[in-house]
Amino acid sequence: MFTRDPENRNLNKQILNLAVPSIISNLSVPMLSAVDTALMGRLENERYLGAIAIGGIIFGFVYWGFGFLRMGVTGLTAQAYGAKDTQECTLILKQAGIIGLLIGLLLIAVQPLIAALSFYLMDAGPEVEQLARSYFHIRIYAAPATLTLHVFHGWFLGMQNAKYPMILTILVNLLNLGLNFFFVKVLLMNSDGVALGTVIAQYLGLLCTAGLFVKTYRHLWAGWSLKGVLHLPALRRFFRIGGDIFIRTLSVLFCHAFFTTKAAALGDVALAINTILMQFIHILAYGVDGFAFAAESLVGRYKGAQDLIRLKRSVFFSFCWALFLSAGFSLVFALLGTKLLYLFTDKSDLLVGARPYLIWIAIAPLVNSTAYIWDGVFIGATASTAMRNSMLTSTVVFLLAYFLLKGLGNHGLWLALTLFSISRGATLTLLAPKHIFSQSVSRAQSLR
């Protein structure tokens, strides 16, 4: 990645211009989760920590299950941008925005059904479940704003603009932190305060998003004509890609939910320990995902421009930067893991109980980064079917590993999760030559 070749230097500059703002904004997301964990971890009872963990799992399914509203939009918009088709760029935003808003309203309407199914599947104590139910029924009202924000974030990235997602993510999370602290510490609302703070922050963030769009992109807007928005081939393309990403995302969320619920079955202390340790995984993911987002934007752009040489180079340098950052994470987690635990809790039983599992946290960066970057590459290329199949295969690997290793207790859980990440990276590596590098697929072919 350190090269004197002007072309490669320019490409690395593009990667960093996209990745650095994304890393900054992404790191603020687990910081919010970390502060929430710290707020709950210092209350008088561990059940509040368990409540936000269970609630977080549900919203992982509810919100990130519709992650195609961000990921699909990035790949499609980047390809239209690379082809210099501004009309299609705007059309994609309109289509996805309407879909996101309608899905958000539908989620509010069916919240009793979602709650009934979710808590039927959860394996948590009655007190934790009661608190988690209250958390859910407050936070669900953020759904329209949250999903519409997903669309705008994906669209900005597709337009090669990582600065606006950074500004918006930091702003929303700062608002969320302030509101959460106020509701929990001042109004003593416990986990309900965290949920209410999230709802208010999401709608304030959506207002700011609209302002930034009008400021910079209003010249692209040609009104609300439904003729283009309801164009069936374009809608079929969007839902085909979205359906694949939906299945892929649900598979990821299922594995992490399975991991957490099995930890809950080991006891409230094990659940609290794994909730704390997962903060390290989240910090890693959101950091390395900055380069995955760069890969999405650049791979989509160069696919749209049918520039296979730059596409390959963007993939190569994205991997180089991601592995470099991951090595740094591994070193920090290995050397400072014990001290970092104090950021999340002051309870001695949790501190002592978490230490034996820090080895998995030190391994995770180098293991997980390959999967993260390949995800970005496949999303940018809209090679969604291959990505879906890779994830389904890895989910089977995870489940088989768990049932074979469950006698190891919590260590078995962490080993199964590690094998899941290894499988993701390996299968995508095997699929890449055919689906990413075999030829510069024309945009006309990609629309079928």
Q: pLDDT by residue (tens digit) across 247-270? A: 998 898 789 878 888 888 888 788
Cβ-based burial of 1 (10 A; exposed 0-12, middle 13-18, buried ≥19):
middle
Question: What pLDDT score does 119 carry?
Answer: 79
Amino acid identity of residue 122, one-letter, is: M
pLDDT in tens, 287-337: 888 899 999 999 999 999 889 999 999 999 999 999 999 999 889 888 887
Higher pLDDT, 222 or 325: 325
| pTM recorded for the entire structure | 0.82
pLDDT in tens, 110-121: 989 988 888 777
Highest mean pLDDT among 2-11, 16-25, 343-352: 16-25
- Asked whether the beta carbons of 78 and 158 are under 8 A apart, the reply is yes
Cβ neighbours for 272, distance < 8 A, ≥ 6 positions apart: 41, 46, 49, 50, 53, 345, 350
Q: Which value, in Å, is the radius of gyration of the alpha carbons in the chain?
A: 21
pLDDT band, residue 446 (cuts 50/70/90): very low
Select from 230, 95, 203, 94 the least CA-distant residue to 144. 203
pLDDT in tens, 57-111: 788 777 777 888 899 999 999 999 999 988 888 889 988 999 999 999 999 999 8
Question: What pLDDT score does 239 carry?
Answer: 87
Question: What pLDDT score does 329 carry?
Answer: 87
pLDDT band, residue 228 (cuts 50/70/90): low
- Return d(Cα 96, Cα 101) in angstroms, integer: 9
Mean pLDDT taken over the chain: 84
